[in-house]
A and B are shown apart, each in its own frame.
Chain A
Amino acid sequence: MTPLLSARGLTKLYPGGRGCREVSLELDAGEVLAVVGESGSGKSTLLSLLATELAADAGRIDYRLRDGTVRDLLVLGEAERRLLLRTDWGFIRQDATQGLRMAVSAGGNVGERLMAVGARHYGNIREAARDWLERVEIAPARMDDSPRGFSGGMRQRLQIARNLVTQPRLVLMDEPTSGLDVSVQARLLDLIRGLVAELGLAVVIVTHDLAVARLLSHRILVMKDGRVIESGLTDQVLDDPAAPYTQLLVSSVLAA
């Protein structure tokens, strides 16, 4: 079986040499891949490249569509690519205000993707939105409220509902839990883990928090200075790191 997502030699360099160099990765359906590394290691650049939000200097991204054909996203037509991105993919952003429409109610945020693919029945859209808000533990009574009045954790949960409503197969997450206090973080991680298992989502999650990686991911990529320096099964890499930098990273984690 061909992998769901396969990136080859992805490169994007900013002036000054920072960025992401010749990164290759593969992801199967239902698999969770964590990308870890320090700030500036290129992990967010990698995620933007995968989301085709940044134009790569070199490389290709092959994605297996629902009909089984494999297409290079970098040469896919824009209309097709954008449709794919808002139906078959999701993107949970670190800053919820970037991932949500802050001027639109919670229900409207969840319904947007449905309307974008042609849903034109208000009652049905609302029903689907209510259903998804409940699944991410947002009270239906808050449905018509603006996300401006939501707490950080609620905003992240709303982002998740908004992305999952079209039942995507691949979700990209950029530090979804950072900036939240630990108890909220734990609940959010629990929710994400449940949904990922239940829906069989493939996930690429970028995080600097090794505990998040350990909890959610099957495999892990360690990045430094724009390159992947180590990869493997999550527990293997975290318990028995080979690269000196990974050893440093693992030993730097503070135990509570």
Chain B
Amino acid sequence: MTAMSTRGFARLASGAAGTNFGYLDEQTKRMIRRAILKAVAIPGYQVPFASREMPMPYGWGTGGVQVTAAVLGPADVLKVIDQGSDDTTNAVSIRQFFARTSGIATTTSTAAASVIQTRHRIPEHRLKEGQVLVYQVPIPEPLRFLEPRETETRRMHALSEYGLMHVKLYEDIARHGHIATTYAYPVQVAGRYVMDPSPTPKFDNPKMDDCPALQLFGAGRERRIYAVPPYTRVRSLEFEDHPFTVQRFDRPCALCGAADTYLDEVVTDDRGGRIFVCSDTDHCEERRAAGHRGEAA
């Protein structure tokens, strides 16, 4: 028996629920960390990794959870969001999972977190150096629906043949008069690889550019990890005469009055009543605590 696995067993006993710190065994974490290092070294490139079965179904963030497990340390503070919210099922269960298996501190505050796992949003609060943002990715391949052959898409990435990505945008404009892709909007990272930013709204794309935090992407079912290192150029694809634009909302958040955030539509009664509120619940609460008020508050 090697020293490594002995240490692994020692850790096993120390876990709060009888599991190893970060749930995964040390060998698996090493393997994932190697993939992450490679991904950081080649921004936007999809690195294959030996994705493990996790105690949750595919589609619930198995890739993100494995990346989080591999980067978490005992001193980390974890925040998990799902569509910007800290209190939905997915977010709560993943937060509890790590609190139980690793005994680490959790938070809902973006500023207080060192690792943030996210599904479909980037927090409104500007991320800072030293933070890690982990995305859950369902389909890592941006070319998938245009070119179904994986051998061919890999070759296209290798040769930077990205004309096809613009065919998709062309089709949008031809059909709708504007680029109608509103989420999973393709970006080019560091002037090289075209990357699917996971199904975040394109509203969040500008936040990925020159971001001080490390951004990691994990796709569990597809077994791919990719990354955007801090302060990396991330450009959304566009046409010269149809530049990239983000969604605009014609009214501010009904709770906190913010006019520069991504809003969710919330139905309030069965008579057609609805309000638009910040999708980032933490950001909204912070603003309200600071005295900002929207029309419904």
Contacts and interface: CB of A to CB of B under 8 A. Distances in A.
Contacts of B242: 122
A78 B159 CA distance: 8
Given A105-B174, A108-B174, A82 B161 contact: yes
A115 B241 contact: no
A120 B174 contact: no
Contacts of A123: 241
A107 B174 contact: yes
B241 A104 contact: no
Nearest to B166: A115
A121 B170 contact: no
A79 B163 CA distance: 14
B150 interface: no
B265 interface: no
B130 to A, nearest CB: 37
Interface string A87-122: 000000000000001011101100111011110111
A125 B240 contact: no
Given A121-B240, A122-B241, A144 B175 contact: yes
A105 B146 CA distance: 12
A125 B169 CA distance: 12
B239 A116 contact: no
B240 A120 contact: yes
B296 interface: no
B174 A115 contact: no
Interface string A68-82: 000000000011001
B264 interface: no
Contact of A112 (B167, B174, B175, B239): B167
A120 B171 contact: no
Contacts of B41: none
Interface in B148-178: 155, 159, 161, 163-164, 166-167, 170-171, 173-175
Classify chain A: how many residues form its interface, as a range. 20 to 34
Given A82-B159, A144-B174, A144-B175, A108 B167 contact: yes
Interface residues of B, number: 18
Given A120-B239, A121-B240, A115 B167 contact: yes
Nearest to A111: B170
A116 B164 contact: yes
Contacts, number: 55
Contacts of B164: 112, 115-116
A30 B171 CA distance: 35
Nearest to B179: A122
A121 B167 contact: no
A103 B239 CA distance: 21
Contact of A104 (B155, B171, B240): B171
B163 A121 contact: no
B116 to A, nearest CB: 34
Contact of B170 (A79, A113, A115): A115
B163 A115 contact: yes
Contacts of B175: 105, 144
Contacts of B240: 120-122
A116 B241 contact: no
A115 to B, nearest CB: 4
Contacts of B146: 101, 103-104
A121 B242 CA distance: 8
Contacts of B241: 121-123
B71 to A, nearest CB: 35
Interface string B119-156: 00000000000000000000000000010000000010
B176 to A, nearest CB: 11
A103 B145 CA distance: 10
Contacts of B171: 104-105, 108
Contacts of A122: 170, 173, 239-242
A163 to B, nearest CB: 15
B152 to A, nearest CB: 11
Contact of B166 (A79, A105, A120): A120
A54 to B, nearest CB: 16
A112 B159 contact: no
Contact of B163 (A104, A107, A116, A144): A116
A76 B52 CA distance: 41
Given A78-B159, A125-B170, 16 more contacts: A82-B161, A101-B167, A103-B146, A104-B146, A105-B175, A107-B170, A108-B174, A111-B167, A112-B163, A112-B164, A115-B167, A120-B166, A120-B240, A122-B239, A122-B240, A143-B174
Interface of A: 78-79, 82, 101, 103-105, 107-108, 111-113, 115-118, 120-123, 125-126, 143-144
27 contacts: A82-B161, A101-B167, A105-B171, A105-B174, A107-B170, A107-B174, A108-B171, A108-B174, A112-B163, A112-B164, A112-B167, A113-B163, A115-B163, A115-B167, A115-B170, A116-B163, A116-B164, A117-B163, A118-B163, A120-B238, A120-B240, A121-B240, A121-B241, A122-B170, A122-B173, A125-B170, A126-B174
Question: Which 7 A/B pairs are nearest by Cβ-Cβ distance?
Answer: A116-B163, A115-B163, A122-B239, A115-B166, A121-B240, A79-B159, A144-B174
